[in-house]
Structure 1
Amino acid sequence: MHDVFVMYNHPTDPEAFDAHYRSTHIPLVHELPLLKEFTWGHVHRDEHDSGYYLVARLTYESADAAAESMASEAGKKSVEDLANFASKGVTVLNVTRGNA
């Protein structure tokens, strides 16, 4: 399995960020082909501040499937939408799971 983690920096306007994320970006993510699972959540700011506001995890069967998904029209739309709400930037990590 392969995960794509998208880590969003703290937005200037968290309410506007959340509204756009829920109403516009999540539906775009759900259109991604080959996507096996999508989860997301806000980062707790308790003992130390990681600098991140929200983390999303997109799970695919393989790194190739993730690349194909992101190269699709739905993938391009999803990436283009970042400019509409994630003005403080994102960090993307591609992680292929190891076998235990």
Structure 2
Amino acid sequence: MTFRIAVCYGKPENPAAFDEYYTSVHIPLARAVPGLTEFTWGKVTSVDDSEPPCYMVASLYFTDEQALKAGMSSPEMLAAGKDLRNFATGGVTMFTQEEHSVR
């Protein structure tokens, strides 16, 4: 079991500018969050021809709830959160999740 912060980004006004800023500026900020064990991201496509509900989803993983809470309250997470206004023109939805692996 791991704990995750999911960040769902709405479609940005300028996707190319979003992509450049996200990869060159925002990822380094997010990777600095203490307790982070894994960080994944990817653009979203629908399984049919409909418009997907978001542009991209990022997942930040932590070993346990204590590490998640510590990471969320850290100065590094605060800096990453404040940075959203610099590029996330399509809005952002965030949630936490306790994940269970099924094998």
TM norm. shorter chain > 0.5:
yes
CA–CA distance in structure 2, aligned partners of residues 2 and 84 of structure 1: 27
Q: Which residue is 2:5 aligned to?
A: 4
Unaligned segments of structure 2, at least 5 residues: none
Match of 1:65 among 63, 67, 70: 67
Residues 11 and 99 of structure 1: CA distance in aligned 2, closer, same or farther (over 3 Å): closer
Deviation digits for residues 15-58 of structure 1 (CA, Å, limit 9, x no counterpart): 01001000100000111100000000000145122320010011
1:15 alignment partner AA:
A
Q: Which runs of 4+ in 1 moved over 3 A?
A: none
Secondary structure class of the residue paired with 1:39: strand
Aligned length: 100
Other structure's SS at 1:44 match: coil
Identity, % of aligned positions: 36
Letter of the 1:60 partner, please give it: F
Unaligned runs of 5+ in 1: none
Cα RMSD for the two superposed structures:
1.4
Q: CA deviation at 1:99?
A: 6.2
State the TM-score, normalized to the length of structure 1.
0.92
Equivalent residue number for residue 44 of structure 2: 43
Q: Given the superposition, is the C-alpha separation of residues 42 and 30 from structure 1 closer, same or farther in structure 2, using an over 3 Å criterion?
A: same
Tell me the secondary structure at the aligned position of residue 88 of structure 2: coil
